[in-house]
Structure 1
Amino acid sequence: MLSGMKVSGAQSSATSLQTTNGHKAAAEAVASALVSQDNALRVARAQHQYGFDTGTGYAACDVALGISQERDSYASADKVRQSFRQADQGWLTSGGDAAERMGATLDQRRTFYCSPSEQTTGWCTGARPGGFGAGDSDAAPWLLNRDYGAEEVMTAADYLDVVAPLPTVKPNPSTAEEEATLVMARRQGAIMSGARASLVGVIVGGMGGDSRQGASP
């Protein structure tokens, strides 16, 4: 009888020990799986942020500089967009002379944007070329190269005034006819502003270091 009781007690003890070991093994497996998954995520995140395919290569220290430059580029593009918007709003609100703007644009063409072919004809007598040739009517300087700065933006602004000019707006009308003319001018200007806004979106889109595009002017 005593021998049988000892065997029964030993079996019960072994069963509880096996159960405990089973729970422990399961917990260890879960912990191991969590740690392995966490490590895998860390490696994947590090590879995504610092890997060669992102363009940083092995220069991991340049990542902070790249992020800073990206933020600066975004801020600059936002300032450019606001400047275009404020200029158009000022023109439609305070007034502007389209003929005067056209004359200034023509003068720029003969002095600043005179292309080499135009210089040979003598049309740009006294020209002082300093920018892209025919940049006020040629979108190539900023449309083909999508990684540029202030000079290309200014060239694009002159191009914008040539291809999508705002109408003459004369505020403070004194007669009913002038009032009707002002309304029509602002309506036309609002429509033109939509076209200009689309072009401005293309212009500022090239300030973030985009890859060179295969577009044609």
Structure 2
Amino acid sequence: MPEDPNITVARFNFKQAIVVAIITGLTTLGGTLLTMQSGKSDDTPDFNNDLEDCQEQLQQASASLENAITISSLRDISNIYFGQDANEQAVKNTIRELISTSELYKKDSQHYMHKLFRLKKLMLANGGNINVRVSNANKEACGLIQDLLKGIEYYKGSIDGNVESTRVAVEDFQKKLNNFTPGYFEEQNIGIVGKKTFNAILEHYERS
């Protein structure tokens, strides 16, 4: 049965109000700028600074509007998460839960084990290892390797995914392990992050 358009309008009324409020705010700010420009006088020494501040705020508001969720997107979200009988408060509560879940994921993504898991996925997608001896090594994987080695104090540089600095850190880590366990890494595998290197990083983390 087709949805009653009146119900759809009612359901998105408050969402439309948010978008209208943003647009109204931008229009008002733009009008303020025009008024300030037309009323410029020599006895307003701070005019240029005020104008620059307003222009900066207008640019920020414009950028926010460009990144805002459209009514069309909200309708798609609504079809997934909300029933047709969902009232405004139910929609707000669900959105809050989604935001909370998103924030929790961001927090978890910074955990050491989560980073190890992400590296493992990249290794599997790359045939089981990350070869940092080659210049075209996966930059995301290199960034994770830097981050992981920094977490166990085997890297002190920037987390930038640079292949060369990653290679130096990996080789240093592997050679130091070979000093404790001679032959643990074969010479031809120095500079390659495979199963042994992954397990060694995990073991160092668990002991720390």
Same fold (TM > 0.5): no
**Greater RCO between the two (CA within 8 Å, min separation 6)?**
1
User: Which category of TM-score, normalised to the shorter sequence, fits these structures?
Assistant: under 0.3
TM-score (norm. length: structure 2): 0.24
Higher Cα Rg: structure 1 or 2? 1
